[in-house]
Amino acid sequence: MRLSVVMPVYNEHATLETILKRVEDTKLAEEIILVDDGSTDGTRDLLPDLASRFPHVRVILHEKNQGKGAAVRTGIAAAQGELILIQDADLEYDPRDYPVLLAPIDEGIADVVYGSRFLGAPRRVAMFWHMVANKLLTLMTNVLFNSILTDMETGYKLFKREVIQELPLNAKRFDFEPEVTAKLLKRKVRIYEVPIRFNPREYSDGKKIGLADAFEAIFTLIKYRFVD
């Protein structure tokens, strides 16, 4: 099945070319949809050149910053492949894991695959409190929706197109992860987890998610437990 990679981009001038090369090197992506969410650091100036050099790249522009969730929703709506994968542009997630992510769908045992940072694959030793927050949010997800996820907040989520494009999504920021997870679990969609590499960047390197987003995730999980 054809794979569309959706890449939300906001102020990733330093890493964008590198991650595009890594995605292209997998030779698995039929299209790479870059959604620039109003970058102000010079990223947008790079896009015409990158689109001309990387054959599978499509560029979509948000004229002003709307948030990661809004950029992801734009990319999902535009994707044409039978499979849609979210890929951050900051080098935390490694495209060499694409075959691992694709395997459960290829085997016919999943409709959605989450790449878990907590199932034993190699990872950089850093960001302890960020890990604690992730695990607490995942625990809350499991309690609310009777699941056994290990990493709700993972950035690597792979969907069959008909599953994700038919899902009503409203997220604008980092609430995309809890919203999409809650709605998938309520619909009893077949979700598998697989181990992935993880190389977290520090806040000094431009990491954007923060404490306020954790509280927003809590609110989102509770909200979508009771409404759709």
Domain boundaries, the chain: 3-226
- The DSSP symbol for 110 reads -
| pLDDT computed for residue 207 by the predictor | 64
- Note whether 177 and 134 are within 8 A (CB): no
Average pLDDT per 10 consecutive residues for the chain, totaling 228 residues: 97 96 97 97 95 95 96 97 97 97 98 96 83 94 98 97 96 94 98 96 65 87 93
| pLDDT computed for residue 203 by the predictor | 65
| pLDDT computed for residue 151 by the predictor | 97
- What stretch of H or E contains 79? none
Q: Give me the CATH code for the 3-226 domain, please.
A: 3.90.550.10
First to last CA, the chain: 30
The residue whose two tokens read 């102020």 is 11
**Nearest-angstrom CA–CA distance, 27 and 51:** 16
pTM: 0.93
Identify which of 201, 163, 200 has the alpha carbon closest to the alpha carbon of residue 183.
Answer: 163
**Nearest-angstrom CA–CA distance, 113 and 104:** 7
- Residue 59's DSSP bridge partners are 34
